[in-house]
Amino acid sequence: MVRTILLGPPGAGKGTQAERMIEKYGIPHISTGDIFRENIKNGTELGKKAQEYMNKGELVPDDLVCEIATDRLKKDDCKNGFLLDGFPRTVYQAQKLDEFLAGRGEKLDKVIDLEVSDEELMKRITGRRVCKECGATFHVVNFPPAVPGKCDKCGGILIQRADDNEETAKNRIDVYNRETKPLVDYYEKSGNIVHIDGMISPDKTFEDIVKVLG
Ligand code: ADP
Ligand code: ZN
């Protein structure tokens, strides 16, 4: 059982590590970004609201995000732990999460801070391609599909996420440095944050995470 957060800038590889972690620890992967994208795809009210912000690389308003995240955490499958990815993203969200967990007599075991340089982030984000059908992720240089533009797993068409263009990506990184980075200090105070090098290979990064989580 482990309650953990993956912190780190856009493009740090949170999604890749999350996939491996949920398999190893048998905990649900809660990605607020995925929840929003799913809602956009299905044309819900929530999706319409979130889309305005996401397409500009801005943050979705705190209260909306907090409600979505805590609703998800109330589900039964989170009783034995969870992996939060992309939430919290502001100090306000972190405080709300702490309050929510405290109200249930729970607390975070570990906060994992994935560290990658801004320059590397831009390369990763703008080269990222995702499968329209199954969501698998590729990279035009680092991890190209066998057939260009086609998913190795299901044959689906690969597309670029709406917010992965250069301009929006730059803004997302700025927003991260301004709004989310202060969370490192916030969790430094509670003493349960660990810093993991996200510039080495995905396998090596995962090994380091497992060392920390046990
Ligand atoms: P990445 O980590 O690659 O930027 P995510 O999929 O986590 O991507 O998030 C994509 C977008 O969804 C963000 O840029 C933001 O607009 C919105 N979003 C996701 N989570 C949050 C959050 N906790 N608070 C505010 N906005 C969020
Ligand atoms: Zn696919």
pLDDT digits (tens, 9 = 90+) for 29-61: 999 999 999 999 999 999 999 999 999 999 999
- pLDDT for 57 equals 93
Amino acid at 90: T
- What are the structure tokens assigned to 168, written together? 């929006």
> What DSSP state is assigned to residue 150?
B
**42/186 Cα distance (integer angstroms):** 35
Residues identified as active-site: 14, 89, 128, 161, 172
pLDDT, tens digit, 9 for 90 and up, residues 5-19: 999 999 999 999 999
pLDDT at 1 over 90: no
- pLDDT for 115 equals 96
Among all bound ligands, the one having the nearest atom to the CA of 135 is 2
pLDDT, tens digit, 9 for 90 and up, residues 95-135: 999 999 999 999 999 999 999 999 999 999 999 999 999 98
Residue 60 CA to ligand 1 centre (angstroms)? 7
Q: Class of the 2-116+167-213 domain?
A: alpha beta
Which residues have any ligand 1 atom within 6 Å of their CB?
10, 14, 31-33, 36, 53-54, 57-60, 65, 86-89, 93, 163, 172
CB crowding 49-74: b at 16 or more within 10 Å, else e? bbbebbeebebbebebbbebbbebbe
Question: Would you give the distance in Å from CA 100 to the centre of its chain?
Answer: 20
Residue 144 CA to ligand 2 centre (angstroms)? 13
- pLDDT for 129 equals 96
**pTM > 0.75: yes or no:** yes
Residue 30 CA to ligand 2 centre (angstroms)? 20
Among all bound ligands, the one having the nearest atom to the CA of 154 is 2
Least confident among 58-62, 73-77, 89-93, 199-203: 199-203
- What are the structure tokens assigned to 49, written together? 């609201």
Is residue 5 a contact partner of residue 27, using CB atoms and an 8 Å limit?
no
Residue 150 CA to ligand 2 centre (angstroms)? 8
Among all bound ligands, the one having the nearest atom to the CA of 155 is 2
Residue 58 CA: nearest ligand 1 atom is: 16
- pLDDT for 29 equals 96
- pLDDT for 191 equals 84
Nearest CA to ligand 1 atom 19: 33
The two beta strands, 128-131 and 137-139, are antiparallel
pLDDT, tens digit, 9 for 90 and up, residues 124-180: 999 999 999 998 999 999 999 999 999 999 999 999 999 999 999 999 999 999 999
Q: How far is CA 10 from CA 3, 159, 214, in A?
A: 21, 18, 26
Helices 202-213, 14-25: axis angle to 10 degrees equals 50
